[in-house]
Amino acid sequence: MAAAHTCTSVLDLVRAVVVVSRVGEARYVPVGLNLSAAVRRCSNCAVEHTGASGEALFVQTAVITDIHANIEALTVVLQDIETRGADEIVCLGDLVGYNANPNECVEEIRNRQIPCVMGNHDAVACGIEEPWGFNEVARHAAIWTRETLTEDNITFLRETPQNQRVENEFIGVHGSPQDRDMYLFSWAEVYAQFQYLDAFGAKSCFFGHTHFPGIYNEEGLCSGDEKGRFALNNGNRYFINPGSVGQPRDNNPRAAYLLYDTDALIVRFIRLEYDISKASDKIMRSGLPKFLADRLVLGR
């Protein structure tokens, strides 16, 4: 990483520091929490601080989860991550289930050597668990996935761990620190999990499983700015869900993931259009339940 330099035009606005990353872009580290001002372009240096969208970049770690065999969504997300110059990617599990390209999605994660944890659908697909608690649609998809996966991909899923360290202070899990199949929908459910972080030597947690993006601290549900950005307070602890790549359920059908800048302590939620029609058509052609195709379109 190159040495930091001071951008006087930004200093005039919010006393920000621009740190040039190894990918030739920049991370903005605001002294205050005025994010909208902190992301203005610096006119005093040679580095262009914007990506393809024209927005300023502050990227280090991309967190993805709940891909669910949707190669169309995963491809778009990975391309966006590359464009934004993230240093690393972590996956919180459920690579498979529901959609029609389980092998392609597992192989994409394998080939890129992306650290990944085991989701509940992964556990069923590779035979570690049986789908007794699944509803009829999920059970149908789980059995179809198990019969479709190659042996190499089954072995990969069996060997994924229950958690991953994300940077220094975050632990990454699928459902909760207690159980990969535990749903954390409400603040009360999240709050009960803070006590388990100490056992992992972690301050905060990235989690998936619900397919709902959100960020919680010990006081309640947090909200970001109009661009999906939230500045973490170094004195607080958090549970953060990036939302689902391959089967969003928050009434927004766009693929979801997040970016975490460990220098600026900023989380940004990203939503991306992808070819939903192609993904849903594959579901129908594969013989999977029509409901799974419909919910991609509806985003719920």
Q: What percent of the chain has pLDDT over 90?
A: 74
Of 116 and 52, the structure prediction assigns the larger pLDDT to 116
Q: Is the pTM of this model over 0.85?
A: no
**Residues 61-286, CATH architecture:** 4-Layer Sandwich (3.60)
Query: Which residues of the chain are in CATH 3.60.21.10 domains?
Result: 61-286
3-class secondary structure for 27-70? EEECCCCCHHHHCCCCCCCCCCCECCCCCECCCCEEEECCCCCC
Quick: pLDDT tens for 96-109: 999 999 999 999 99
DSSP 161: -
Backbone angles phi, psi at 222, to 5 degrees: -100, 160
**Which residue's structure tokens are 């549900």?**
221
pLDDT at residue 23, rounded to an integer = 32
Confidence of residue 31 (pLDDT cuts 50, 70, 90): very low
**For residue 186, pLDDT beyond 50:** yes
For 187-238, the pLDDT digits (tens) are: 999 999 999 999 999 999 999 999 999 999 999 999 889 899 999 998 899 9
**If pLDDT is split at 50, 70 and 90, which confidence band does 172 have?**
very high
Q: Is residue 76 very low, low, confident or very high in pLDDT (cuts 50, 70, 90)?
A: very high
- 3-state helix, strand and coil shares in percent for the chain, rounded to the nearest 5: 30, 20, 50
